[in-house]
Structure 1
Amino acid sequence: MLISYKFKNFCSFCNEAEFDLLAPGNKVKNRYPDNYIETEAGYDVLKTAVVIGENAGGKTNFINSISFLKSLFENNKSKHSYRALININNLPSACPAQCDTKQEFNIHMIGGSGAIYHYDLQIDEFSIVQEKLTYRCTKSGQEKLIVSAKRNEMKREEGKGSIAVSFGLDTENCDKEVKRIIEQASFAKGDIGLFVSKLAILGDVHALEFVDWVNNKLIVESKNYNYYLYKNIQNEEDDLRIIKDSRFLEILRMVDYSICGVEIDDEKPFRKSKIIRKMKSGEDFARELNMDSGGVGEFFAWAVQLFRVVYEDKIIFADEMDRVINPVLAERMVAFINGKKHKGQFIFSTHNVLHLDLKNYMKEQIYFVTKNKEDLNSELYSLADFPEIRYETTKIYEFYMKGILGGTAFE
Structure 2
Amino acid sequence: MVVRFIVENLFSFGERREFNLLPSPRYSRLSHHKYSLNSFDFLKLSVFYGANGSGKSNLIKSIAYLKDIVLEEEIPPRFQQHKFKFHNELKEVEVLLGIEFISEGTPFIYALKFNEGIILHEELYISGLGVKDDVLIFERETNQDRHISTKFSEDFEKDTESKILQKVIEKNLSKPDRPLLKLLSTLDSPFLEDLGKAYRWFERTIQIITPLSKPAALAQRIDTNDNFREYANETMCTFHTGIKNLKTEKKSLVEFFGQDNIGELDELIKELDDSSKKMIGLPTRMGEEILLVKEGSEVFVKRLRLEHQGLNNKTAFFYINEESDGTVRLLDYIPAFQDIVNKEKVYIVDEIERSIHPLLIKELIRKFSSDSNTKGQLIFSTHESNLLDQEIFRQDEIWFVEKDKNGSTDLYPLSEFKEHHTKNIRKGYLNGRYGGIPFLSNLQDLNWNKYAIAE
- CA apart distance, 1:219: 1.0
Post-superposition Cα deviations, 1:131-189, rounded to whole Å, max 9, x if no partner, equal 221115887444321112233x222xxxxxxxx32324233244844553233333578
- CA apart distance, 1:62: 0.7
Q: Letter of the aligned partner of 2:384 in structure 1?
A: N
- CA apart distance, 1:260: 4.0
Counterpart secondary structure, 1:375: coil
More helix by share: 2
1:222 alignment partner in structure 2 = 210
Indicate conservation of the 8 Å contact 1:24/1:364, yes or no. yes
- The answer to whether the aligner puts 1:390 opposite 2:420 as a matched pair is yes
Counterpart secondary structure, 1:310: helix
Indicate conservation of the 8 Å contact 1:36/1:47, yes or no. yes
Counterpart secondary structure, 1:241: helix
Change (3 A) 1:335 1:286: farther
Q: Letter of the aligned partner of 1:392 in structure 2?
A: T
Q: Letter of the aligned partner of 1:370 in structure 2?
A: E
Indicate conservation of the 8 Å contact 2:119/2:176, yes or no. no
Q: Mapping of 1:67-106 within 5 angstroms? A: 67-77=64-74, 82-92=79-89, 96=91, 99-100=92-93, 102-106=94-98
- The answer to whether the aligner puts 1:321 opposite 2:321 as a matched pair is no
Counterpart secondary structure, 2:72: coil
- The answer to whether the aligner puts 1:124 opposite 2:118 as a matched pair is no
Q: Determine which of 196, 216, 219 is the counterpart of 1:236.
A: 216
1:343 alignment partner in structure 2 = 375
Q: Determine which of 245, 251, 274 is the counterpart of 2:235.
A: 251
- CA apart distance, 1:242: 6.1
Indicate conservation of the 8 Å contact 1:111/1:210, yes or no. yes
Change (3 A) 1:187 1:90: farther
Query: Residues of 2 paired with 1:404 and 1:343: CA distance?
Result: 34
Change (3 A) 1:45 1:276: farther
Post-superposition Cα deviations, 1:74-120, rounded to whole Å, max 9, x if no partner, equal 23346888321211112535xx2xx22x11122111111x1111222
Post-superposition Cα deviations, 1:190-227, rounded to whole Å, max 9, x if no partner, equal 5542222222021422111001101111111234xxx4
- CA apart distance, 1:21: 1.0
- CA apart distance, 1:7: 1.1
Superposition RMSD in Å: 2.9
Indicate conservation of the 8 Å contact 2:222/2:246, yes or no. no
Change (3 A) 1:260 1:174: farther
Q: Determine which of 42, 47, 52 is the counterpart of 2:44.
A: 47
Counterpart secondary structure, 1:150: strand
Q: Letter of the aligned partner of 1:186 in structure 2?
A: E
- The answer to whether the aligner puts 1:186 opposite 2:170 as a matched pair is yes
Identify unmatched segments of 5+ residues in structure 2: 252-281, 283-287, 291-302, 443-455
1:265 alignment partner in structure 2 = 249
Counterpart secondary structure, 2:148: strand
Query: Residues of 1 paired with 2:106 and 2:427: CA distance?
Result: 43
Counterpart secondary structure, 1:87: coil
Indicate conservation of the 8 Å contact 2:218/2:304, yes or no. no
Q: Determine which of 100, 110, 113 is the counterpart of 2:102.
A: 110
- The answer to whether the aligner puts 1:143 opposite 2:175 as a matched pair is no
Change (3 A) 1:376 1:310: same
Indicate conservation of the 8 Å contact 1:59/1:369, yes or no. yes
- CA apart distance, 1:312: 3.4
- CA apart distance, 1:13: 0.8
1:14 alignment partner in structure 2 = 14
Tell me how many residue pairs correspond in the alignment.
381
* % identity of equivalent residues: 21
Counterpart secondary structure, 1:347: strand
TM-score computed with the length of structure 1 as normaliser = 0.83
Change (3 A) 1:11 1:239: farther
Change (3 A) 1:91 1:324: farther
Larger Rg: 2
- The answer to whether the aligner puts 1:379 opposite 2:410 as a matched pair is yes
- CA apart distance, 1:276: 3.5
Counterpart secondary structure, 1:212: helix
Change (3 A) 1:148 1:55: same
Query: Residues of 1 paired with 2:101 and 2:204: CA distance?
Result: 14
Change (3 A) 1:194 1:215: same
Deviates most, 301-310 or 137-146:
137-146
